[in-house]
Amino acid sequence: MACVADLRLAGIGMTSARTRDRLVQRLRDQGITNLQVLDRIRNVPRHIFVDEALGSRAYEDTALPIGFGQTISQPYIVARMTEALLEGGAVDNVLEVGTGCGYQTSVLAPLVAHVNTIERIEPLLSRAKERLKELGIRNVRFRHGDGTLGWKAHAPFDGILVAAAPLTVPEALLKQLRVGGRLIVPVGPEGEQQLVRFTRREQRMEREVLGPVAFVPLLGGIA
């Protein structure tokens, strides 16, 4: 059984190491420079986070459906958001809003001390837990809940990463950011979204636009 599991994680054909290397080179060409992030993109088996029928497309730089009207983000966006979160100082305690299939979580988790991740769709959260357990990632705390409210019990956070787009940033997330902490979030209506990095200072909130993106909308409540 161990051999079968190892083969599944390693991938074959279109999910092989050579295919992953080509993806990493493409991300380098697009401006990703953090070597730890590139290493995670290379080593995380993205094909286990998508349906088997889509496995041959897992290392294309594109978003793919994961059910429930949600998608697995394209590798460039995962790399860009992770890189933007890590820039500017140590990040120990992170909140991730929108676990989805767990791919972003698995890229980020080994690069920080703790990840607290919230997903509103329970079947997606259960699947993500299974995948991260399979990969031996153990520094993640999962919650089925409304990510727009943050996770006050584990605040303040050094970093918050939001994997869906609100029209305006939820106040709860800004309040749960520590001084010096960074919030990476896509903001705006469909077709007009920008990836934004907010950095909390003592008396103000810095806002930096990182570029155009396309995400599913951030919804409240649970499903």
pLDDT of residue 138: 97
pLDDT digits (tens, 9 = 90+) for 71-113: 999 999 999 999 999 998 789 999 999 999 999 999 999 999 9
126 catalytic residue (yes or no): no
DSSP 50-91: S-GGGGGGTTSSS-EEEETTEEEPPHHHHHHHHHHHHTTS--
Q: Of 56, 73, 106, 126, which one is the catalytic site residue?
A: 73
Mean pLDDT of 172-177: 97
CA distance 115 to 91: 10
* pLDDT category of residue 17 using cuts at 50, 70 and 90: confident
pLDDT digits (tens, 9 = 90+) for 103-131: 999 999 999 999 999 999 999 999 999 99
Mean pLDDT of 144-168: 97
Using CA atoms, how far residue 32 sits from 50, 71, 104, 218, in Å, is 24, 22, 16, 26
DSSP the chain: -HHHHHHHHH--GGGSHHHHHHHHHHHHHTT---HHHHHHHHHS-GGGGS-GGGGGGTTSSS-EEEETTEEEPPHHHHHHHHHHHHTTS---EEEEE--TTSHHHHHHGGGSSEEEEEESSHHHHHHHHHHHHHTT--SEEEEES-GGG--GGG-SEEEEEESSB-SS--HHHHHTEEEEEEEEEEESSTTS-EEEEEEE-SS-EEEEEEEE---PBP--S--
Count the neighbouring beta carbons within 10 Å of the beta carbon of residue 93: 18
Could you please state the CATH topology (level 3) that the domain comprising 62-212 is classified under.
Rossmann fold (3.40.50)
Q: Domain limits of the chain?
A: 62-212
Place of tokens 């727009």: 148
